[in-house]
Structure 1
Amino acid sequence: MIHKRYIWLLALLTLAAACRITQPYRSPEINTNGLYRDQPNGDTNTIAARPWQSFFTDTALQRLIARGIRENLDLRIAMQRIIAAQAALKQSRLAFLPDVNANASVKESRLAFPQGYGLITTATQYDVNVAASWEADIWGKLRSGKRAAQAALLGTVAAQQAIQSSLIADIAASYYTLLALDQQLQVLRQTLANRGEDVSSMKELKASGIVNGAAVVQSEANQYAAAVAIPDVKRQIRETENALSILLALPPGPIARGNMPAQQVPQNLSTGVPAQLLQYRPDVKAAEYAFRNAFENTNIARTAFYPSLNITAASGFTSFDFSQWFTDAGLFGNIVGGLTQPIFNRGLNKARLTAAQAKQQEALYNFNKTMLTAGKEVSDALYSLTSASEKKESREKQLASLEKAVDFTKELLKYSSSTNYTDVLTSEQHLLSAQIGSINDQLQQWQAVIALYRALGGNYDEHD
Structure 2
Amino acid sequence: MINKYKTHTLLALAAVLSISACVTKKYQAPGLDVKGSVYRDTSITDTASIANLPYKQLFNDTVLQNLINEGLQENYDLKTAVQRINEASATLRQSKAAFLPSLSGVAQATRNKQSLAALNFPPEFVGAFPLVTTISQLGLSTSWEADIWGKLSSAKRSALAGLLQSDAAKRAVQTQLIANIANSYYNLLALDQQLRITEQTLKNRVADVETMKALKESAVVTGAAVVQSEANRYAAEVTIPDLKRSIREAENALSILLARSPGAIKRSSLDEQKPYHDLQVGVASQLLKNRPDVQQAELGFRMAFENTNLARTYFYPQLTITGQGGVSTLRIRNLFDNSIFYSVIGGLTQPIFSRGENKARLRTAQARQQSAYYTFQQSLLTAGGEVSNALYAYQAAVDKQGSRANQLKALEKAVDYTKELLRYSSSTNYTDVLTSEQSLLTAKLSSVNDRLQELQAIVNLYQALGGGWKQ
Q: TM-score, normalised by structure 1?
A: 0.97
Q: Tell whether the 8 Å contact from 1:21 to 1:139 is kept in structure 2 after alignment.
A: yes
Q: Tell whether the 8 Å contact from 2:178 to 2:468 is kept in structure 1 after alignment.
A: no
Rounded to whole Å, the distance in 2 between the matches of 1:243 and 1:146 is 41
Q: CA deviation at 1:117?
A: 3.5
Q: CA deviation at 1:108?
A: 1.4
Q: Which moved more, 1:32-41 or 1:301-310?
A: 32-41
Q: Please state if 1:364 is matched with 2:384.
A: no
| SS state at 1:124 partner | strand
Counterpart of 2:297 in structure 1 is 287
Task: In structure 1, give the amino acid aligned to 2:55.
Answer: W
Counterpart of 1:56 in structure 2 is 59
Alignment match of 1:43 (pick from 36, 43, 46): 46
Q: Please state if 1:73 is matched with 2:82.
A: no
Task: In structure 1, give the amino acid aligned to 2:107.
Answer: A
Q: Tell whether the 8 Å contact from 1:145 to 1:300 is kept in structure 2 after alignment.
A: yes
Counterpart of 1:217 in structure 2 is 227
Q: CA deviation at 1:8?
A: 2.0
Counterpart of 1:344 in structure 2 is 353
Rounded to whole Å, the distance in 1 between the matches of 2:418 and 2:56 is 48
Counterpart of 2:313 in structure 1 is 303
Rounded to whole Å, the distance in 1 between the matches of 2:44 and 2:85 is 38
Task: In structure 2, give the amino acid aligned to 1:348.
Answer: E
Q: CA deviation at 1:113?
A: 4.2
Counterpart of 1:231 in structure 2 is 241
Q: Please state if 1:381 is matched with 2:390.
A: yes
Rounded to whole Å, the distance in 1 between the matches of 2:35 and 2:276 is 27
Counterpart of 2:423 in structure 1 is 414
Rounded to whole Å, the distance in 2 between the matches of 1:8 and 1:418 is 109
Q: CA deviation at 1:121?
A: 2.1
Alignment match of 2:155 (pick from 145, 155, 161): 145
| SS state at 1:398 partner | helix
Aligned residues: 461
Q: Tell whether the 8 Å contact from 1:33 to 1:274 is kept in structure 2 after alignment.
A: no
Q: Tell whether the 8 Å contact from 1:171 to 1:244 is kept in structure 2 after alignment.
A: yes
Q: Tell whether the 8 Å contact from 1:32 to 1:275 is kept in structure 2 after alignment.
A: no
Counterpart of 1:85 in structure 2 is 88
Rounded to whole Å, the distance in 1 between the matches of 2:43 and 2:420 is 50
Rounded to whole Å, the distance in 2 between the matches of 1:394 and 1:29 is 43
| SS state at 2:469 partner | coil
Q: What value does the CA root-mean-square deviation take over the aligned residues? A: 1.3
Counterpart of 1:100 in structure 2 is 103
Rounded to whole Å, the distance in 1 between the matches of 2:23 and 2:37 is 38
Q: CA deviation at 1:282?
A: 0.1
Task: In structure 2, give the amino acid aligned to 1:294.
Answer: A
Unpaired segments ≥5 residues, structure 2: none
Counterpart of 2:6 in structure 1 is 4
Q: Please state if 1:401 is matched with 2:410.
A: yes
Change (3 A) 1:40 1:448: farther
Q: Tell whether the 8 Å contact from 2:174 to 2:468 is kept in structure 1 after alignment.
A: no
Q: Please state if 1:121 is matched with 2:124.
A: no
Alignment match of 2:283 (pick from 268, 273, 283): 273
Spell out the pairing of 1:150-229 with structure 2 (5 A cutoff).
150-229=160-239
Rounded to whole Å, the distance in 1 between the matches of 2:259 and 2:284 is 34
Q: Please state if 1:459 is matched with 2:468.
A: yes
Counterpart of 1:17 in structure 2 is 19
Task: In structure 1, give the amino acid aligned to 2:102.
Answer: D
| SS state at 1:109 partner | strand
Q: Tell whether the 8 Å contact from 1:32 to 1:274 is kept in structure 2 after alignment.
A: no
Rounded to whole Å, the distance in 2 between the matches of 1:75 and 1:404 is 52
Percent identical among aligned pairs is 52
Q: Tell whether the 8 Å contact from 2:88 to 2:163 is kept in structure 1 after alignment.
A: yes
Task: In structure 2, give the amino acid aligned to 1:416.
Answer: S
Counterpart of 2:251 in structure 1 is 241
Q: CA deviation at 1:3?
A: 3.6
Deviations 1:234-281 (A, max 9, x none): 010001111111101111101000000110110110110110001100
Rounded to whole Å, the distance in 1 between the matches of 2:149 and 2:43 is 50
Deviations 1:270-326 (A, max 9, x none): 110110001100000000100000000111111111111100111100111112111
Q: CA deviation at 1:459?
A: 2.2
Alignment match of 2:273 (pick from 263, 267, 273): 263
